[in-house]
Amino acid sequence: MKKLFIFALLGALTTSCVSTKVHKTLQEKYDLLSNEADQLRQKSEMRAAENSELERTLGEVRREVNQLQEDTTAKFDELRALQTKYDRLSKQYDYLLDNNSTLIAASARENKALMDELSTIQSRLQAKEDSLNTERRALEKGQRRVAELEGVIRRQDSTVNYVRQKVADALLGFTGKGLTVNMRDGKVYVSLENSLLFAPGSWSVAANGQVALENLARVLADNEEISILVEGHTDDDPYRGQSQVKDNWDLSVMRATNVVKILTKNAGLDPQRITAAGRGEFVPLVENTSASNKAINRRTEIILTPDLTELANLLDGAGE
């Protein structure tokens, strides 16, 4: 749709005479859309890299399990060999006892050595059995860990995708009007440009922005396992206000705090799940080299993170 819009603009420019001001406005819109397309490509590449890293980690765990299986097979083979030797020596010993009492009496020291060897073999056999049991338990534990890790990852991916879709559906009417919803690092990022939420230099949320936040709050209230971080961002223009707000740090904090206050008006949204933070001008999306870029950097980001307690507990338990 953006490309059709751009081509339509270019067509209008080439088939009719427009003023320099209109041409400049269209060019700025084209630059903004191109910038957004670059950002989407970057985010897609980041997500692909993250998936590759997860697949690499899962492959390492599977290789560890395969190695444990190979080690267990080797232990079984060694155990069978020792058992065979033990059985043979036992039969020889029984034969000597039953049929060669004279030889046994004459070869007491040899027989004692044989018994000592049998005792040693029995000890080694028991040690091998203990080692085999340990390896078997380690193998079973590794298999359970792989299954549990895969299950947790699937559940978290499912939860994040579900929440992203619900948020996108709830804010559908605001898409393309200063609001974007995307996934990055296993989290959902809801980015609202200041043009949707705040007047220049203000931290009071506009009426249209309040509607968007109320819609978002309903989705967040229904998904209690999601933690919420609200970050305020500014461009690098110094703040010129005359109030308790002195600079961009203060302004970004006030904006984030007011967004949190609107979200928590929903009685179903536990305030303990939500955090407000101001980042000032220090985390820009693009360089502050133009008015359009500065507009991109002036934003409020609502970052939704799934509950990682289950995964943390599982990893802690694996280290014990």
What pLDDT shows up at residue 4? 55
For the beta carbon of residue 154, count every other beta carbon within 10 angstroms: 10
CATH 3.40.50.920 fits 171-318, yes or no: no
pLDDT at position 211 is 93
Task: State the CB neighbour count (10 A cutoff) for residue 31.
Answer: 13
Q: Which secondary structure element, helix H or strand E, spans residue 188, and what is its range?
A: strand 187-193
The residue-averaged pLDDT of 265-284 equals 95
81-86-92-95 Cα dihedral, nearest 10 degrees: -130
CA angle 154, 152, 312 (to 5 degrees): 145
Share of the chain above pLDDT 90, in %: 31
For the whole model, what pTM was predicted? 0.53
pLDDT on residue 248: 94
pLDDT digit string (tens) for 61-117? Answer: 788 888 888 888 888 788 788 888 888 888 877 777 777 666 656 667 787 887 888
3-state helix, strand, coil in the chain (%, to 5): 70, 10, 20
